[in-house]
């Protein structure tokens, strides 16, 4: 998109650690200035300073347990407003024409789900006119928008990533750079596997799976949005020296010539396995069980149903450990209301989920067998298995989680580039 005669528009998002102090804001502003000097108009999306949102949430919680969600959003969104103003002031001191924008000023249009709102639209006319008038940088407070009723909303944790991708999509940006405290997307967590390798490129689908499986680099909703609107994402560190080839590019599968069969290993440490024994085996029983769980806000993941025996079956599912109590109450209430019957509910709260992800699995057989052999060789028992076209996940005892991640990383040679990923000619 051409705005104000500029070469192109770039979106740059800076996370909380990247803007944690005035010095770090100045460092980030220098990166923005470099892109302006390269001919870009820039939309900068900022998070609150590191730790500020937690502080604001704590203040809200101190007022009482039953707070008004609309006022919650009014309070917790203020952290991003402060950062946006400071960033704009810093850029102005560098003689770069910049202006801060709060969500309602753009406006970032959302639905009315306070605390977890979804973006419904971003009109571009007003901001585009300001670029045409000579503004070079628009600094936008991330994580926030405005409801149809005119109230401030927030997008949920990590919502600034989603804000950045939404602006990139709305303005047709050439790329969306996500600056954080890590220098890219790795084959697994480097804190667990020292030989973990930074990927130069990763497909949208792989990144989406890794994000949903516990990788903390990008928020899941931001990757979904980028994949839908084909927004190129680049994840890179705000603390490294400038390098135009730094970070990891998240892009379409068609832009990657060759992929390793497995791109990465992800894990979720705090998973629980819940099993309903002696469930009556009849049409509609799954809906009777998982409907109340959904209504209670339980995030059910892996589901396995055993073969029916004499009219009864066992149903196993996984969920986050901190939702076990909620899940138990939902099931007990559903049984008491006559929804379904079962003989016993077992909860194993000492499990973890480990997954391998890769678009290369579509065309390569034997990945599951190789994964299971690696776990067998380490004496790790598998409790639950689920698969998709590009993912295999297993539930195991939590004490073996790090061993499993290391073993799978070694098994699939993820420390080696293998077939190097490159752009097609």
pLDDT band at 422 (very low <50, low <70, confident <90, very high): very low
pLDDT digits (tens, 9 = 90+) for 152-203: 999 998 899 999 999 999 999 999 999 988 889 999 998 899 999 999 999 9
pLDDT at position 419: 39
Per-residue pLDDT at 3 exceeds 50: no
Per the prediction, the chain carries an average pLDDT of 90
Q: Is 181 annotated as a binding residue?
A: yes
Q: Is 399 annotated as a binding residue?
A: no
Whether 112 shows a pLDDT value over 70: the answer reads yes
171 is in an annotated binding site: no
Characterize the bridge pairing of strands 175-180 and 233-237.
Answer: parallel
> What pLDDT sits at residue 261?
87
Q: Would you list the DSSP string of 367-392?
A: HHHHHHHHHHHTTPPP-EEEEETTEE
pLDDT tens sequence across 344-383: 999 999 999 999 999 888 888 899 999 999 999 999 999 9
Domain ranges of the chain: 8-181, 265-411
The rounded distance, in Å, linking the Cα atoms of 413 and 402 is 17
217 assigned ligand-binding residue: yes
Both tokens of 363, joined, read 């065309």
DSSP state of 49: P
Residue 216, marked binder: yes
Q: What sign does the dihedral 391-327-57-137 (CA atoms) show? A: positive
Does 8-181 match 265-411 in CATH topology?
Answer: no
| CA separation for the pair 425, 423 (Å, rounded) | 6
When pLDDT is averaged across residues 41-60 and rounded to a whole number, the result is 96
| CATH superfamily of domain region 265-411 | VC0802-like (3.30.2130.10)
pLDDT at 420 over 60: no
> What is the average per-residue pLDDT within 393-419?
91
**83 among annotated binding-site residues:** no
**Is the pLDDT reported for residue 5 higher than 70?**
no
Residues with Cβ within 8 Å of 13's Cβ and at least 6 positions away in sequence, in order, are: 44, 45, 46, 47, 142, 160, 161, 163, 164, 176, 177, 178, 179
Q: Model confidence over 388-401: pLDDT tens digits?
A: 889 999 999 999 99
CATH of domain 8-181: 3.40.1160.10
- Judge whether 191 is annotated as a binding position: yes
pLDDT band at 1 (very low <50, low <70, confident <90, very high): very low
- Tens digits of per-residue pLDDT, 273-328? 999 999 988 888 899 999 999 999 899 999 998 876 777 899 999 999 999 999 99
Please, which residues have CB within 8 angstroms of residue 322's CB and are 6 or more apart in sequence?
A: 270
For residues 42 and 171, the answer to whether their CB atoms sit within 8 Å is no
Does position 2 have pLDDT exceeding 50, yes or no?
no
Q: Is 180 annotated as a binding residue?
A: yes
- As a whole number, mean pLDDT of residues 5-27 equals 89
16 known member of a binding site: yes
Higher-pLDDT residue of 121, 64: 121
pLDDT digits over 324-340, tens only? 999 999 999 999 988 88
Token pair listed for 234: 């680049």
Q: What is the structure's pLDDT at 396?
A: 97
Tell me the torsion sign for CA atoms 353, 358, 363, 366.
negative
For 224-280, how does the pLDDT look when each residue is reduced to its tens digit (9 = 90+)? 999 999 999 999 998 887 777 789 999 888 877 656 789 999 999 999 999 999 998
N-to-C CA span, the chain? 24
Q: What is the pTM of this model?
A: 0.82
* DSSP state at residue 186: B
Strand order, beta sheet including 264-280? 303-305, 312-320, 264-280, 344-357, 391-397, 384-388
Find out whether 80 is annotated in a ligand binding site.
yes
Find the mean pLDDT for residues 108-133: 95
């Amino acid at each position: 998109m051409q705005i104000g005669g500029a070469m192109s528009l770039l979106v740059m998002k800076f996370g909380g650690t990247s803007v944690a102090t005035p010095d770090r804001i100045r460092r980030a502003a220098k990166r923005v200035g470099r892109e302006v000097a390269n001919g870009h108009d820039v939309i900068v999306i900022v998070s609150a300073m590191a730790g500020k949102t937690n502080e604001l949430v704590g203040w809200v919680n101190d007022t009482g347990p039953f707070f008004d969600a609309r006022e919650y959003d009014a309070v917790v969104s203020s952290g991003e407003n402060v950062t946006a103003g400071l960033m704009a002031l810093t850029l102005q001191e560098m003689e770069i024409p910049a202006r801060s924008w709060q969500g309602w000023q753009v406006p970032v249009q959302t639905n009315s789900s306070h605390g977890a709102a979804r973006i419904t639209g971003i009109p571009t006319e007003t901001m585009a006119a300001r670029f045409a008038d000579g503004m070079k940088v628009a600094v936008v407070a991330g994580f926030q928008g405005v409801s149809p009723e005119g109230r401030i909303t927030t997008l949920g944790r990590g919502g600034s990533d989603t804000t950045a991708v939404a602006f990139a999509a709305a303005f047709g940006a050439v790329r969306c750079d996500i600056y954080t405290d890590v220098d890219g997307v790795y084959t697994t967590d480097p804190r667990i596997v020292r030989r973990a390798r930074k990927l130069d490129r990763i497909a949208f689908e792989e990144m989406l799976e890794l994000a949903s499986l516990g990788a903390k680099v990008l928020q899941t909703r931001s990757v979904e949005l980028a994949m839908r609107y084909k927004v190129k994402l680049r994840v890179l560190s705000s603390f490294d020296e400038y390098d135009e080839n730094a970070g990891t590019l998240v892009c379409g599968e068609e832009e990657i010539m060759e992929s390793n069969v497995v791109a990465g290993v992800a894990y979720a440490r705090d998973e629980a396995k819940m099993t309903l024994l002696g469930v009556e085996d009849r049409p509609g029983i799954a809906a009777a069980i998982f409907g109340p769980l959904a209504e209670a806000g339980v995030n059910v993941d892996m589901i396995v149903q055993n073969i029916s025996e004499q009219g009864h079956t066992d149903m196993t599912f996984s969920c986050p450990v901190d939702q076990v109590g909620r899940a138990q109450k939902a099931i007990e209430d559903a049984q008491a209301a006559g929804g379904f019957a079962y003989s016993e509910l077992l909860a194993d709260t000492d499990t973890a989920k480990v997954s391998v992800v890769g678009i290369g699995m579509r065309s390569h057989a034997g990945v599951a067998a190789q994964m299971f052999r690696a776990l067998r060789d380490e004496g790790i028992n598998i409790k639950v298995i689920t698969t998709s076209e590009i993912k295999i996940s297993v539930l195991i005892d939590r004490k073996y989680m790090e061993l499993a991640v290391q073993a799978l990383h070694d098994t699939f040679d993820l420390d080696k580039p293998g077939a190097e990923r490159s752009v097609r000619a």
